[in-house]
Amino acid sequence: MPTLVFYGLAIASVGGPLALITLFLPNTLADVSSSAGLLVVLGALAFIFPTAVWYRFARTVASSGGLYTFVEHAAGTTVARLHGAIWVVSYFLYLPSTVVFVLYDVLPAAFAGIAPYRAALDIAVPAAMVVGLVLWRSGLFTLTAALALAQVVLVGVLAGSEISHAGNRLHLLVLQASAGTAWRSVGSVSLLFVCSSLPLYLGGEVRHATTVTSRALPLAIGAGAVCASAGVVALAQFSPSVLAGEVPGWDIATSVGGHALGDAVVLGTAASVLTLVLLEYVALTRLLPVMVGMGPRRAEIGVGALFIAASAISLANPQAAYEKLVNPSLMALYLSELIVFLVYPLWRRRRGRLRGLDIVITVAASALMLYGLYNALKPSTGL
């Protein structure tokens, strides 16, 4: 895989970039939009700790097993398989539910006429991903990287329109919320970057893998942070009810740039989320051969068949599929990442390099995942 394509895929994994500012950040910051700029900056900075763990592993370990291989090097095969099993559950839940979310919640915001075609598209979209990966792998990866670049360009257009419409918004860098609310918001913003480890599962497909994969992590997260910071300018102009809507980016873009920009943003947001789904599917097909010895082509077809079948099952109640599956998926993801961070000091000690800073990084990264688990548990436990 060309290095530039890999970097493009890494940038696509951060949200993707457009979905961050049109979907996830407005929902996350709906109640604290007056301090959005500061909270986004702090949230991105808080993610330095998970990034540091991935980066240090990636400088010496590169494999199609991604995080699984990291855990295996640190704590052995048994713990790695526990991590891998939880990680697989997370993304198997996320794949079909997110496709439904795009078709039933995102696209209808601007394209109400899609309604009669959504059921067919719910099968066609995952089928296209599977066929593309099996028959047109290099072209699919190049196209996905190009879509990441297009997202960044559209972020720039939207941010430029927001800035020209909103004027000076330096007050967004001033804290106007209570300390407790601010810290919770910082944690929630930081967790939006958690999928940026997905490119690590392509470590077996690039030359000079340890150099390229480790460099891609800060590059991608930095690009995501810049896009996120550029896209929060207009948030303070909108009510919490708008920002907490299905696609707040459509309302924002339409307000500052008209319906053409709003429609483009909705299409771009759908593409942004679906490229992330594609990378998750690809990561599953790379992990399973390493974890259970399944052949690579068999993994692509087998995981793809399950993806399509799960999407078909979700049609029984498409409106509830995302709502019911997203929290269990997130809980499994945070738990799997927590294992990665907890075993990191073991790996450093084995290499004779465990320092006090490593403990700080471990504690901070683990605390962030524990906060994510707590957040995901709240709807079902009432905490």
Number of separate domains in the chain: 1
Rounded Cα gap, residues 328 and 348, in angstroms: 31
Q: Which amino acid is at 39?
A: L
- Which CATH number fits the domain that encloses residue 351? 1.20.1740.10
**DSSP code for 105:** I
Q: 29 near 185, Cβ under 8 Å?
A: yes
Q: 64 near 205, Cβ under 8 Å?
A: yes
Q: 224 near 149, Cβ under 8 Å?
A: no
Q: Which amino acid is at 287?
A: L
**108 CB-near residues (< 8 Å, 6+ apart):** 114, 115
Q: 125 near 99, Cβ under 8 Å?
A: yes
Cα torsion 217, 221, 223, 225 to 10°: value is: -170
What pLDDT shows up at residue 236?
A: 72
What pLDDT shows up at residue 151?
A: 92
From the list 341, 24, 328, 331, the residue with the least C-alpha distance to 192 is: 24
Rounded Cα gap, residues 220 and 343, in angstroms: 24
Q: Which two tokens stand for residue 54?
A: 């991935």
Predicted confidence pLDDT, tens digits, the chain (383 residues): 899 999 999 999 998 899 998 999 988 888 888 788 888 889 999 999 999 999 999 999 989 999 999 999 999 999 999 999 999 999 999 999 999 999 999 999 999 999 999 999 999 999 999 999 999 999 999 999 999 999 999 988 888 887 777 665 555 566 676 778 888 999 999 999 999 999 999 988 998 899 999 999 999 999 999 888 887 877 777 788 888 888 888 988 888 888 899 999 999 999 999 999 999 999 999 999 999 988 889 999 999 999 999 999 999 888 888 888 999 999 999 999 999 999 999 999 998 889 999 999 999 999 999 999 999 887 654 44
From the list 253, 279, 256, the residue with the least C-alpha distance to 265 is: 253
Rounded Cα gap, residues 124 and 252, in angstroms: 30
Rounded Cα gap, residues 21 and 157, in angstroms: 12
Spell out a b/e string for 22-61, using b for 16 or more CB atoms within 10 Å of the CB, else e.
Answer: bbbbbebbbebbbbbbbbbbbbbebbebbbbbbbbbbeeb
Cα torsion 93, 280, 96, 250 to 10°: value is: 120
Domain of residue 256 covers 3-381
Q: Which two tokens stand for residue 333?
A: 């993801």
Q: 161 near 261, Cβ under 8 Å?
A: yes
The pTM for the full model equals 0.93
Rounded Cα gap, residues 124 and 126, in angstroms: 6
Q: Which amino acid is at 175?
A: L
Backbone region of residue 111 per phi and psi (left: phi > 0; alpha: psi in -120 to 50; beta: other values):
beta
Q: Which residues in the chain belong to E strands, given as ranges?
A: none
